[in-house]
Every structure is written in structure tokens, then in C-alpha cells.
Chains A and B, each alone.
Chain A
Amino acid sequence: TQLLEQSPQFLSIQEGENLTVYCNSSSVFSSLQWYRQEPGEGPVLLVTVVTGGEVKKLKRLTFQFGDARKDSSLHITAAQPGDTGLYLCAGIANAGGTSYGKLTFGQGTILTVHP
């Protein structure tokens, strides 16, 4: 069973601060995804990383996939109250292509950004 350890579980910060969320595993993932979820909604995909060492940027969000494809991080610069939500990492363990592999989710990080 592939496990994803996500940390921290809770983050409460002030507007303008930076933060990093980590996702770690002893298993190799063919791809790793980050989702954001707001109350009453399903998770919404932010990014997928598939190549070891890959870095992707989405405005103030920077996503990194570890060289060994076992870990990933999400860094938010100058957080804003609109960033508040539940952030989830999820990995697909099956290799290659348009995978129908099951998603393994991390435990989630509840981020609260105070004005």
C-alpha cells in the first residue's frame, strides 16, 4: 500500500506570509497531483507533476516533484485570505500514460490565512 505523509495538518498564518506544505512517501509515484478543496465542494485540481525534479508555477503557488518521485512540496508566496482551504496531495502509483491507477491521498492540510 502506497502512503503519502502530508504535513503540516494545520496552518494558520497572516496575510502576506509564505508557507510550504510537504508530501512524502517511501514509494515512487508516476505522477503527483495537488488539489484545493473548499467547504461544500469537491477537490479541484491545481497541478500535476510527472517528471522527477519538475517545478511548476501557478501564480503565487510553486509545486516541486522530488528527483526520486517520492515527495513533493507546495509553496505559497504572500498568502492571501482567498488561499484558505483544504490542500490535498495525491499520487498515482501505476506507471505511465493515461493511467487509470487509483489515487492515494495525503492526509490534507487545512490552511487559514487571516487578513
Chain B
Amino acid sequence: SAVISQKPSRDICQRGTSLTIQCQVDSQVTMMFWYRQQPGQSLTLIATANQGSEATYESGFVIDKFPISRPNLTFSTLTVSNMSPEDSSIYLCSVEKRLANYGYTFGSGTRLTVV
């Protein structure tokens, strides 16, 4: 199964600035998924990143606010742009496990606080 390295693990940022979160996977994967999660709550899908094409965003999320790069089959970045305190959250990347149980592997998350 895939192992995901996500960084930074946490950051405190000033409002109006941008933060780029990186996810590195130890094997090639077709799809990478980016989620947002409030502590102790469920996950909300932001977008799906497919190598070689533009990311597909879910309702309520736009490319200008959350630009995503997917330069190759093992790496992706999510940028949180022009941050406000409402963007304070945990951001996670995920890939599908290539196993019969169809599970997904998640990074350990980036805890973002915007002040």
C-alpha cells in the first residue's frame, strides 16, 4: 500500500498570505484527493487531482482559492490562497490503495491556523 509524506504538519499564517502544502507518495498513483477537516469532524473533499489535467473541484471550492498542481504521478501540492481565519482547518491528501479492499491512504494532515 502507498505511503504518503505530507508537509508541513502545521503552520500559523498571517491573513492575506498563501500556504502551499505538499504530498509525496512512495508509488505512482493516478488520482490524488485533497480534503479539509475541522478537528473532530468529518472530511470534506476539496478536489481531485489527476496527473496531466486540471484538478476537478467540488462545489464550494474554486481554483483561484485552492490551486492544485500535479506535476507527476507521485506528487501534488495544494495552495491555500489569500488566507482568512475561516481557512483555519486540517488539510489532508489521500490516494487510493491498490489493494483488493479498495481503501484509501491518507497523509497525516496539515493543521493550518490563520491569524
Contacts and interface: CB of A to CB of B under 8 A. Distances in A.
Interface of A: 6, 31, 33, 39-45, 47-48, 50, 86, 88, 90, 92, 98-100, 102-103, 105-108, 110
Contact of B42 (A47, A50, A105): A105
B108 interface: yes
Instruction: Pick the 8 closest A-B CB pairs, nearest first.
Output: A42-B106, A45-B103, A48-B101, A108-B42, A105-B42, A105-B43, A107-B42, A43-B106
Interface string B30-58: 11010000011111110010000000000
A42 B92 contact: yes
Given A41-B109, A47-B101, A99-B102, A86 B43 contact: no
11 contacts: A40-B9, A40-B108, A42-B6, A42-B109, A45-B101, A45-B103, A48-B102, A90-B104, A100-B31, A103-B43, A105-B44
B87 interface: no
Given A105-B42, A108-B41, A108-B42, A92 B108 contact: no
Contact of B41 (A41, A50, A98, A107): A107
